[in-house]
């Protein structure tokens, strides 16, 4: 459990994810933790919260997620843009991403995959349905615990536009 983070209500986690921020997915397989960057996911239910995420079978994290059925979805802000891209451009097959990019692995509370301490929110998840994995690399997850930094929102999340271009979260409006 992360001492510097506070718990965030499970049934509000869609508010952190439905705007489409780049996320960093952590797994832990046979004691080896890894990180991948990702934008292809969606909330599919809010209470209890469920997500659908796509992790290609080409990714090193695919095997870890499929075997352990656990991951953490960590949400970085623009301060971590460069490290997030580095995580996306390298493979856990070759590098220890926590060590190489100077990121802190904190213990999660309900899964073995670690939280990334530098990310402002961390969403602990368990895989509950793998029926769409073979055909679409699509995993259905249930969110089991959410942590957030005790700071004011909104956060400057980053949103992938393709290639090396990212949109940084702009002004908040009420409509």
Complex with a copy of itself: residue 150 or 170, whichever CB lies closer = 170
- Asked if 21 touches a copy of itself (CB under 8 A), the answer is yes
Place of tokens 């009420």: 174
Q: Does 18 bind a copy of itself (CB under 8 A)?
A: yes
Q: Which of 26, 21, 71 is nearest to 43 (CA)?
A: 21
Contact call for residue 85 and a copy of itself (CB under 8 A): yes
Nearer to a copy of itself, 63 or 142 (CB): 142
Q: Does 10 bind a copy of itself (CB under 8 A)?
A: no
Phi, psi of 96 (to 5 degrees): -85, 105
Q: Is residue 34 a contact partner of residue 60, using CB atoms and an 8 Å limit?
A: yes
Q: How far apart are CB 74 and a copy of itself at their closest, in Å?
A: 17
Cα 47 to Cα 3: distance, rounded to the nearest angstrom: 26
Does residue 161 interact with a copy of itself by CB under 8 A? Answer: yes
List the one residue from 1, 32, 42, 47 that touches a copy of itself (CB under 8 A).
42
For residues 88 and 44, is the Cβ–Cβ distance under 8 A?
A: no
Q: Is position 43 an interface residue for a copy of itself (rule: CB under 8 A)?
A: yes
Q: Taking the complex as a whole, how short is the minimal distance between the CB of residue 147 and a copy of itself, in angstroms?
A: 18
Question: Residue 129 pairs with which residues in a beta bridge?
Answer: 140
The whole-angstrom separation of Cα 112 and Cα 93 is: 19
Q: Does 151 help bind a copy of itself (rule: CB under 8 A)?
A: no
Full DSSP string of 12-76: GTHHHHTT---EEEEEEETTEEEEEEE--EEEEEETTEEEEEE--TTSHHHHHHHHH-EEEEEE-
- Residue choice 11, 57, 82, 109 for contact with a copy of itself (CB under 8 A): 82
12 counts as binding a copy of itself under rule CB under 8 A:
yes
Q: Which residues bind a copy of itself (CB under 8 A)?
A: 12, 14-15, 18-21, 39-45, 50, 52-54, 78, 81-82, 84-85, 129, 131-132, 135-138, 140, 154, 156-162, 164-175
């Amino acid at each position: 459990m992360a001492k510097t983070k506070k718990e965030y209500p499970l049934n509000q986690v869609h508010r952190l994810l439905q705007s489409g921020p780049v996320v960093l997915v952590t797994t832990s397989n046979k004691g080896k933790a890894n990180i991948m960057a990702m934008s292809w996911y969606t909330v599919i239910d809010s209470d209890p919260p469920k997500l659908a995420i796509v992790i290609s079978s080409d990714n090193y994290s695919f095997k870890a997620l499929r075997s352990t059925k656990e991951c953490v979805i960590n949400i970085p802000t623009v301060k971590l843009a460069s490290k997030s891209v580095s995580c996306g451009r390298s493979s856990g097959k070759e590098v220890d991403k926590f060590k190489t990019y100077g990121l802190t692995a904190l213990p999660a509370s309900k899964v073995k995959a670690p939280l990334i301490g530098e990310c402002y929110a961390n969403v602990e998840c368990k895989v509950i349905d793998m029926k769409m994995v073979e055909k679409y690399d699509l995993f259905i997850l249930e969110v089991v615990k959410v942590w957030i930094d005790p700071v004011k929102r909104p956060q400057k999340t980053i949103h992938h536009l393709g290639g090396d271009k990212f949109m940084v979260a702009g002004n908040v409006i009420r409509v």
